Structure 1
Amino acid sequence: MGQGTRGLEVRAVASSWSPVLVVVLAACVVVGGWAAATAHVAPGTTEQQSERAHWTVSGEFDHSAEVTRENPVFEEGATLENRETYFVRATPVLDGEFAAEYTSVAGDSADLAVDTALVVRAVEDGTVYWTDRVDLASTTADGVASGESASVSFSLNASELADRRAEIEQSLGQSPGETEAFVAATVTAEGTAGGEQVTESLTHRLPVSVDGDTYAVESPGSTSETATTAETVTVQREYGPLWALGGPLLFMLGAGGLGALAVAHRRDALALSAAERDYLEYSRERDEFDEWVVSVRLPASVRDRPRADADSLADLVDFAIDTDAGVVEDPETGRFYAVGDDLVVAYDPPSPPAERDGGIDAGSVLAAVTGGRVSAGGTDGESAVAADPVSSEEASEGASVSEAEEEASADGAEEKASTEAADGGAAVDAAAGSDGDEPVERGAADRPGRPDGGTGVDAASDDRA
């Protein structure tokens, strides 16, 4: 499609699809306006479930062992604190303390109960095969204020723990799983949460393992448990950037497009005139049959043959196919010919339409429809085929002058015709004169519908014409 017809194509499509464009743009206005309003004007609310913390109970172990046996390393009576390893002979008794701290958001008090026990059990992959539990110490504290704690002290003998473990394993025989021992501290807290009485409990463990003359105590750190209640909270609805930004953009696109269409219809900028429709149809046919057309300057002797006029380029191409002739475009006049043996069929293409009054051209129409400044190449008459602005009457006058000149110098006309045919690619058979030499033909074996490779255009001498 020629550069100068792009604007006509856009206008033709916009004119024929105008109702559909109106519906689509109106839908953009409605959808974009609704999305913009929901995102920025009235986003609405939504309900969310949230957990509200009321109070928390946390606990932590401290442990130590007193040196009860004389040895060259530690002074007897000294206390070893929070070590990872103690000695069974020098420090056989482990002294521990578990402190439970209560913290309230609202400052309410709570009742705490702390129990400690020595647990020995065999476990594997979460499966407990047997458990031996011995209570150590316990305490209770009522009305514990926020920030205060309740603590309990306990003691265990590492030698007795080793003997107890060996006794159980010996009595049970070979037991599956791995035997472990730990001090379990269980805290039970009773308080209020959300106006209701709530009980929370947590269990904290202090692992102890005896291995020969030493025993190890792991430091588990602190653990906590929080009393919460589920609440339904109403919050403002939030939208993503696609919704928040896409809605206004879609609304502006739809509104701008509708406004542009309204202006274009009021100025009659979309409808094509008869001349514009003819020129657009010709341009389409020119592009479609481009491979059929060759550009050659025809001698006057060929143009003087009996002539018939075709209504369209498509009709001219049909004639050329039926008569096995070529389609020639005169680069000087822009006229198309199909040259037969005794007849020349011609087609005069329409001239490019003039620019409309008010400066409305293809580029402005395209910009009006799309809402942007898009250049469609203008309507300055640029196309793939150059149309001759000279009228048919002027062409006839020019042909008469040419005839007079040829009659005055027939020999010169024949020489000129032969030279022009050679310059045009030898698409026309140049007559060798009246001596009967064979004409020279231009090879076009690859042209559709030409099995013999000829163009079907003969440029005969004056005698042959």
Structure 2
Amino acid sequence: MTGETRWLRLRAFAGEWFVVLVVAFAVLAAAGGYAAGTAHAAPGTTTERQTVEHWAVGGEFGHSATVTRENPVFEVGETLEGRSTYFVGASPILDGTYRVSYADPTGDAEPVDVTATATLVLSSTGESATYWTDRERLATTDATLAPGETTSVAFDVNASRVDERATDIQQGLGDTAGEVTATISVAVNATGAVAGSEYPVSYTQSVPLTIAGSTYGVDAPGPTSEAATTQRTVQVAKSYGPLWTVGGPLLLLAGLAGLGALGAAYRRDEPGLTDAERDYLAFRDERAEFDEWVVRARLPATIRDRECADAESLADLVDYAIDADVGVVEDAASGSFYAVTRDLLVVYEPPAEPDVVSPLAGDFDALGVTTDRDPDEDLVEGVTADSGPEADDDGKAPPPDSPTVEAED
């Protein structure tokens, strides 16, 4: 199909469905305009619950061990700090601290009362049970902190005695089947004010103490904090996804472009076809429908010398050719169609191709594709009145494979 033909079909479709297309493009533009305006110009607001932090307390572990016994590596009195492993023989006592800080993100918080208590916890646990727990308070501290101030609770743990204590408990209870663990826990309790009312904040942070023969390890966690918070309701602008923010403007542009194209076509009287254009499209449809019945040939000029009749359409000519058991010949030179019998020549003159300038005409040329058939392709030089296949049982002749040819002087 050439670009001109496709352009005529497009115009025919636009003419037949002009009102529907106008409504469709108007709806498209309205929907796109609404989506674009909603997403960009007037998104509106929605209610959200927000968490407001008024003040917070937090803390972090610190630990070290002082060498108290002679050894080949470390000097007596040397402090080993922040290590993951210490030595029971050289430095059996772990010195720990927990530093508590008070933060005020709002800038108007009042001082808070803080209590920090360090506890050594020994326990034996299995997969689904805790067999026993032993707690020993190590140290406690109380302080009143202003924003930005800190306080510390200091404690010490003798690793060898912890190991002995765990062994004594196990032996006294009959060697329970659970795994024995040692943990240093610090419980922090703070009391301050929020909006004129007392507000308590509490949390616990722990560090495991692993004793393995001649060494013990400390796996201190990072800093943590707990805040005094309240909830408030606020109005925030609605947010929209790409379906609204991108799809809306695209729909608006598509709708306006379609309306503009229809309006321009209407002003040029292009929607719909002229009678000549409509006849030409009808011929093109019939030519495609009956392509298998048509043989393209270059006929001699004397073909018109015999008695001649005109067919109203290509379909009429094909019907006659089937009844007469002859083929339909398209003259490659003139474009006329013939059904040649011994007594009569039936001719169909196709309508002339309209003088249409199509914006689609160059589509295939730009791609290097040719849609028109080669006028010299599969041509037969002459056709006699005896050409054509025999009819089948229904009286209809199958499409001719090729005509019978004879030389013309």
TM-score (norm 1): 0.73
Aligned match of 2:319: 318
Question: Residues 414-446 of structure 1: CA distance to partner in whole angstroms, max 9, x if unpaired?
Answer: xxxxxxxxx8344336xxxxxxxxx8x6999xx
Aligned match of 2:367: none
Aligned match of 1:432: none
Out of 110, 114, 125, the position equivalent to 2:116 is: 114
Q: Which has the larger radius of gyration?
A: 1
Contact 1:112–1:188 under 8 Å retained in 2? yes
Number of equivalences: 392
Give the Cα–Cα distance (whole angstroms) in 1 for the partners of residues 53 and 349 of structure 2: 91
Contact 2:388–2:400 under 8 Å retained in 1? no
Aligned match of 1:53: 53
Question: Residues 203-251 of structure 1: CA distance to partner in whole angstroms, max 9, x if unpaired?
Answer: 1223333334443334334332223333333222233444223323322
Pairing 1:108-187 to 2, within 5 Å after superposition: 108-124=110-126, 127-142=129-144, 144-187=145-188
Aligned match of 1:424: 380
Between stretches 8-17 and 249-258, larger displacement belongs to 249-258
Give the Cα–Cα distance (whole angstroms) in 1 for the partners of residues 306 and 397 of structure 2: 25
Question: Residues 79-122 of structure 1: CA distance to partner in whole angstroms, max 9, x if unpaired?
Answer: 55444444445544444332211112234211101112111001
The one-letter code sitting in structure 1 at the alignment partner of 2:285 is: R
Contact 1:65–1:91 under 8 Å retained in 2? yes
Contact 1:338–1:345 under 8 Å retained in 2? yes
Between stretches 67-76 and 92-101, larger displacement belongs to 67-76
Give the Cα–Cα distance (whole angstroms) in 2 for the partners of residues 377 and 156 of structure 1: 90
Out of 375, 385, 388, the position equivalent to 2:360 is: 375
Give the Cα–Cα distance (whole angstroms) in 1 for the partners of residues 329 and 276 of structure 2: 24
Shift of the 271–59 alpha-carbon distance from structure 1 to 2, 3 Å rule, reads: closer
Give the Cα–Cα distance (whole angstroms) in 1 for the partners of residues 267 and 212 of structure 2: 100
Between stretches 46-55 and 112-121, larger displacement belongs to 46-55
The DSSP-based 3-state class of the residue aligned with 1:23 is helix
Structure 1 residue 183: deviation in Å? 1.7
Give the Cα–Cα distance (whole angstroms) in 2 for the partners of residues 451 and 112 of structure 1: 103
Shift of the 255–78 alpha-carbon distance from structure 1 to 2, 3 Å rule, reads: closer
Structure 1 residue 73: deviation in Å? 6.1
Contact 1:183–1:207 under 8 Å retained in 2? yes
Structure 1 residue 314: deviation in Å? 0.6
Q: Does 1:449 align with 2:375?
A: no
Pairing 1:429-440 to 2, within 5 Å after superposition: none
Structure 1 residue 31: deviation in Å? 0.4
Aligned match of 2:393: none
Question: Residues 127-174 of structure 1: CA distance to partner in whole angstroms, max 9, x if unpaired?
Answer: 5332111122222223x1112122223333333322211111112224
Question: Residues 329-352 of structure 1: CA distance to partner in whole angstroms, max 9, x if unpaired?
Answer: 234443221112212211122223
Contact 2:328–2:339 under 8 Å retained in 1? yes
Question: Residues 370-418 of structure 1: CA distance to partner in whole angstroms, max 9, x if unpaired?
Answer: xxxx33469xxxx9699xxxxxxxxxxxxxxxxxxxxxxxxxxxxxxxx
Shift of the 122–304 alpha-carbon distance from structure 1 to 2, 3 Å rule, reads: same
Give the Cα–Cα distance (whole angstroms) in 1 for the partners of residues 132 and 82 of structure 2: 30
Give the Cα–Cα distance (whole angstroms) in 2 for the partners of residues 266 and 79 of structure 1: 95
Contact 1:298–1:428 under 8 Å retained in 2? no
Shift of the 351–70 alpha-carbon distance from structure 1 to 2, 3 Å rule, reads: closer
Pairing 1:171-210 to 2, within 5 Å after superposition: 171-210=172-211
The one-letter code sitting in structure 2 at the alignment partner of 1:339 is: V
Shift of the 255–216 alpha-carbon distance from structure 1 to 2, 3 Å rule, reads: closer
The DSSP-based 3-state class of the residue aligned with 1:329 is strand
Give the Cα–Cα distance (whole angstroms) in 1 for the partners of residues 276 and 111 of structure 2: 95
The one-letter code sitting in structure 2 at the alignment partner of 1:344 is: L
Structure 1 residue 452: deviation in Å? 8.5
Give the Cα–Cα distance (whole angstroms) in 2 for the partners of residues 137 and 130 of structure 1: 22
Give the Cα–Cα distance (whole angstroms) in 1 for the partners of residues 195 and 285 of structure 2: 80
Give the Cα–Cα distance (whole angstroms) in 2 for the partners of residues 28 and 12 of structure 1: 22
Structure 1 residue 324: deviation in Å? 1.0
Give the Cα–Cα distance (whole angstroms) in 1 for the partners of residues 79 and 398 of structure 2: 115
Aligned match of 1:291: 292
Aligned match of 2:259: 258
The one-letter code sitting in structure 1 at the alignment partner of 2:14 is: A
Aligned match of 2:226: 225
Shift of the 312–94 alpha-carbon distance from structure 1 to 2, 3 Å rule, reads: closer
Gaps in structure 1 of 5+ consecutive residues: 356-360, 364-373, 387-422, 430-438
Contact 1:324–1:456 under 8 Å retained in 2? no
Structure 1 residue 254: deviation in Å? 1.6
The DSSP-based 3-state class of the residue aligned with 2:245 is helix
The one-letter code sitting in structure 2 at the alignment partner of 1:141 is: A
Could you say what the CA RMSD is over the residues aligned between the two structures, in angstroms?
3.5
Give the Cα–Cα distance (whole angstroms) in 1 for the partners of residues 339 and 406 of structure 2: 10
Aligned match of 1:216: 217
Shift of the 2–340 alpha-carbon distance from structure 1 to 2, 3 Å rule, reads: farther
The DSSP-based 3-state class of the residue aligned with 2:229 is strand
Gaps in structure 2 of 5+ consecutive residues: 364-370, 391-395
Aligned match of 2:40: 40
